[in-house]
Amino acid sequence: MELFSLKDKTAVVTGSLGLIGKEHCRALSEAGANVIAADLDADKCGEFALTLLTESMGISLDVTSPESVNGLRDKVIQKFGHIDILVNNAAINDMFEDPKAASEQSKFENYPLELWQKSIDVNLTGVFLCSQIIGNVMSVQKKGSIINIASTYGITAPDQSLYKKVDGTQSFYKPPAYSATKGAVIMFTKYLAAYWGSNGVRVNTLTPGGVENSQDEFFIRKYSAKTILGRMAKPSDYKGALIFLASDASSYMTGANLVVDGGWTAW
Binding footprint of ligand NAD on the chain (CB under 6 A): 14-15, 17-21, 39-40, 61-64, 89-93, 122, 126, 149, 151, 208, 210-211
Q: How far is the CB of 43 from ligand NAD (least distance, A)?
A: 13
Could you give the angle at which helices 239-246 and 21-30 cross, rounded to 10 degrees? 60
User: For the chain, what is the total number of helices (H) and then of strands (E)?
Assistant: 10, 7
Nearer to ligand NAD, 3 or 228 (CB): 228
Please state the closest distance from residue 235 (CB atom) to ligand NAD, in A: 7
Asked if residues 119 and 64 have their Cβ atoms less than 8 Å apart, the reply is no
Q: Which residue, 11 or 63, has its beta carbon nearer to ligand NAD? A: 63
129 to 61, 69, 140: CA distances (angstroms): 12, 7, 17
Q: Compare residues 64 and 105 and give the one whose CB is closer to ligand NAD.
A: 64
* Residue of 219, 236, 188 lying closest to 88 (CA atoms): 188
Smallest separation (angstroms) from ligand NAD to the CB of 111: 17
Smallest separation, CB 102 to ligand NAD (Å): 17
Whether 252 is catalytic is no
Bridge partner residues of 124 (DSSP): none
Closest CA to 252 of 188, 184, 193: 193
3-state helix, strand, coil in the chain (%, to 5): 50, 15, 35
Q: Which of 153, 163, 178, 223 is catalytic?
A: 178
Please, are residues 220 and 165 in contact by the beta-carbon 8 Å criterion? Answer: no
Nearer to ligand NAD, 17 or 49 (CB): 17
Residues taking part in catalysis: 178
